[in-house]
Amino acid sequence: MLLSSSLFSGFSPEIPAPAFIMTKLLEWLFGVSVVGAAWALVSFDLLDLSLPQTYREVAWPMPLYLLVSFGCYSLATVGYRVATFNDCDEASNELQEQIKEAKEDLRKKGLKM
């Protein structure tokens, strides 16, 4: 399961709301700025660390690489999940059978449809 770790904590505090909730938007902005700052530091050598040229050459196109690989990962994941999305044929057949049974039984019990 996707969510095993936090699931088994086994208790539910009555009023668990934290005083300040970081919205997902803020979390993302924060994350992106941290990564962006690190990237700028290395690619433009902002701190004058005199990093070797190769570091800068690798770092410079990194955002594009990350974006492209994330895009590929997304497409692959969604594609796989669409392909493996269960078609519940038996569920539908079972329901059809039960609908017949139910209608008959309800008629006997005096329901006027």
Partner 1 sequence: MASRKTSPNRDSRDKYSILLPTYNERENLPLIVWLLVKYFGESGYNYEIIVIDDGSPDGTLEVAEQLQKIYGEDKILLRPRATKLGLGTAYIHGIKHATGNFIIIMDADLSHHPKFIPEFIEKQKEGDYDLVSGTRYQGNGGVYGWDLRRKLISRGANFLTQVLLRPGASDLTGSFRLYKRAVLESLVERCVSKGYVFQMEMIIRARQLSYTIGEVPISFVDRVYGESKLGGNEIVSFVKGLITLFATT
Instruction: Identify which of residues 11 and 53 has a Cβ nearer to partner 1 in the complex.
Output: 11
Q: Return d(Cα 78, Cα 70) in angstroms, integer.
A: 12
Interaction of residue 23 with partner 1, rule CB under 8 A: yes
**In the range 26-55, which residues lie near partner 1 by CB under 8 A?**
28
Structure tokens at 108: 């006997």
Residue from 50, 53, 54, 86 binding partner 1 (CB under 8 A): 86
Q: Write phi, then psi, for 53 (nearest 5 degrees).
A: -55, -35
Structure tokens at 41: 């530091």
- Interface region with partner 1, contact rule CB under 8 A, candidates 37-45, 47-55, 60-68, 78-86: 78-86
- Interface region with partner 1, contact rule CB under 8 A, candidates 33-41, 42-50, 57-65, 83-91: 83-91
Pair 51, 45: CB distance under 8 Å: yes
Report CA dihedral (100, 106, 112, 113) to the nearest 10 degrees: -30
Instruction: Identify which of residues 2 and 47 has a Cβ nearer to partner 1 in the complex.
Output: 2
